[in-house]
Amino acid sequence: MNFITLTEQALKQITTLKSNYETEVYLRIGVKQGGCSGMSYSMNFENVNNLKSTDEVLTLDHCLVACDPKSLLYLYGLSLDYSTELIGGGFQFSNPNASQTCGCGKSFSG
């Protein structure tokens, strides 16, 4: 089982966003303290040269996805989707490890 799964829609959006960078980047997904439910998701692009030796890395259709070990405990099995809906659109996190999620879908408690 991969630590994270990207739907076709999410991968398409990530590829589109990635095309704005002139250098090779990877998608970093993690969690941080804060948000409505205690922890919030973080997602950004980083230069491939910044990859840490402790990062868990998954390659999906030429897209590098990295996660630090502490975040991985909360994200193992996460499914990332993308919606173009006007209300509630954007990246959607489906996390089997979350005991409670916020209505915004961007934070959770584990």
Tokens of residue 105, six digits: 């879908």
Residue 37 confidence (pLDDT): 60
Per-residue model confidence as pLDDT tens digits over 39-97: 788 999 999 899 899 998 888 767 888 999 988 888 888 889 999 888 778 898 888 87
Residues in the chain: 110
Domain boundaries, the chain: 4-109
Residue 20 confidence (pLDDT): 93
Q: Full-prediction pTM beyond 0.85?
A: no
The pLDDT confidence band at residue 107, using thresholds 50, 70 and 90, is very low
**Long-range contacts of 53-57, Cβ-Cβ distance < 8 Å, separation of 24 or more:** 56/3, 57/26
Residue 104 confidence (pLDDT): 47
Residue 1 confidence (pLDDT): 52
CATH of span 4-109: 2.60.300.12
Residue 101 confidence (pLDDT): 55
Per-residue model confidence as pLDDT tens digits over 9-55: 999 999 999 999 998 899 999 988 865 667 788 999 999 899 899 99
